[in-house]
Amino acid sequence: MLEPGFHPVAPGRIAAIVTHLEMRAPPPSPDAKLPEGMMLRQVEAPDPDWYRDLFLRVGGLTWMWFSRLRLSRAELSAVLADRDVEIFALEIDGRAEGLLELDFRDGRSCELAFLGLTPAAQGKGAGRALIQTGIARAFARPIERLHIHTCTFDSPVALPFYIRSGFVAVRREVEVVDDPRLDGTIPMDAAPQIPLIR
């Protein structure tokens, strides 16, 4: 348990405040349609290279997403091929520009593991349609709860967006990890709003 006050973070590491949220039943909400020219496609057992490219463009370059990029090809392939992991790509002109991923592997709940859009898909209302699809698909199974977490590396609109969508914050953590730019997981110029301290 951290005591109140400032806590040093070693050079070469980064720290984020992680907020965990959940919902126990789907909230009433109007249907949100995808903007014209966009479609959502379920991708079963996607190729790891395709997935890594989308993951990096959606979250790695701007928001310091790195967790899936640190998995080996075999580890990532195993996750992507699991029948209890559902992956959807938001496509514009046939190119994936958004990611929705649901993880049912614990058997009792669903994690909304990843949800995000590339800059090409942002600001058009696609996020609302994406999260409503995720909520509906999650509660189509007999789960006890749908949960998600976001952190201070994510877009500043992410946490209020999840709360407006019906999620309730239930706990908070501090995560300290090695800076993924320093080991080549993501490019050195990624997430420039987070200073690199060697």
- Delineate the domains of the chain, giving CATH numbers in brackets: 37-178 (3.40.630.30)
Neighbours of 34 (CB within 10 A): 20
Residue matched to tokens 């109140």: 4
Residues 33-91: tens digit of each pLDDT? 899 999 999 999 999 999 999 999 999 999 999 999 999 999 999 999 999 999 999 99
Supply 161's token pair. 């967006």
Cα 34 to Cα 98, 114, 164, distances in angstroms: 12, 18, 18
Residues 139-185: tens digit of each pLDDT? 999 999 999 999 999 999 999 999 999 999 999 999 999 999 999 99
Burial class (CB in 10 A: 0-12, 13-18, 19+), 110: buried
Main-chain phi, psi angles of 197, to 5 degrees: -120, 110
What is the Cα–Cα distance from 154 to 64, expressed in whole angstroms?
A: 7
